[in-house]
Amino acid sequence: MSRKALLRRELLAARRLLTKEDAENAAVVLSRGALDLPELSGARTVAAYVSVGSEPGTRVLLEALRARGVRVLLPVLLADNDLDWAPYEGADRLVRAGRGLLEPDGARLGPEAVLEADAVLLPGLAVDGRGMRLGRGGGSYDRVLARLAAAGAHPALIVLLYDDEVVARVPEEPHDHPVDVVVTPAASRRTDRP
């Protein structure tokens, strides 16, 4: 098993130990911390995602961004694991999709829509001080980050995590891209991303 796979397994096991109440409380604190970021306070368009299961919660944040008048784009998983995007129009407009995900039921904007984002909230399992992010291993967000880099787009890259998921070192591969900011319940941290 690779170092990434071992680290994923450990982090997912720790997340399964969280109570629903702990996760809900963390989501409120994470939302406040993220909303205070200058990268989000001035954003007109934010690409985000709907948290599921024991992921650090995004639903409170999605509603707060929408209430501010921010255009929020949510991913729609394509058959090849790439991501299309659709506007977030409220929790009542989310539908169940494959892999237990929730996706917006509105018009699809195409994979390139992410290029319009001023900030991108990325799911993750861990981030280190250099900004290297460990995802779940499906490669969907690796494609998004590669698309942004190829287009010369530089939105703020932000990850919401639990406190113990900021680690000393994330194993990296040549296709990995660092993020700018990590928000945890305890604090927001800027990475050493070049």
pLDDT in tens, the chain (194 residues): 688 889 999 999 999 999 999 999 999 999 999 999 999 999 999 999 999 989 999 999 999 999 999 999 999 999 999 999 999 999 999 999 988 889 999 999 999 999 999 999 999 999 999 999 999 888 899 999 999 999 999 999 999 999 999 999 999 888 889 999 999 999 999 987 76
Q: What is the pLDDT of residue 192?
A: 79
140 is in an annotated binding site: yes
Tokens of 35: 């909303």
Q: Are 69 and 101 in contact (CB under 8 A)?
A: no
133 is in an annotated binding site: yes
138 is in an annotated binding site: yes
8 is in an annotated binding site: yes
In this structure, the number of other CB atoms found within 10 A of the CB of residue 21 comes to 8
Q: How far apart are CA 168 and CA 27, in angstroms?
A: 24
Q: How far apart are CA 86 and CA 183, in angstroms?
A: 24
Q: What is the pLDDT of residue 26?
A: 96
pLDDT in tens, 86-130: 999 999 999 999 888 899 999 999 999 999 999 999 999 999 999
55 is in an annotated binding site: yes
Q: What is the pLDDT of residue 194?
A: 63
Helix (H) or strand (E) holding 15: helix 3-16
Residue identified by tokens 């397994």 is 9
Q: What is the pLDDT of residue 76?
A: 96
Q: Which of 153, 142, 87 is nearest to 116 (CA)?
A: 153
**Please, which residues have CB within 8 angstroms of residue 157's CB and are 6 or more apart in sequence?**
119, 120, 122, 131, 145, 177, 178, 179, 180, 181, 193
50 is in an annotated binding site: yes
Helix (H) or strand (E) holding 96: strand 94-96
139 is in an annotated binding site: yes
7 is in an annotated binding site: yes
pTM exceeding 0.85: yes
137 is in an annotated binding site: yes
41 is in an annotated binding site: no
89 is in an annotated binding site: no
Q: Domains, the chain, ranges and CATH?
A: 3-190 (3.40.50.10420)
Percent helix, strand, coil in the chain, to 5, is: 35, 20, 40
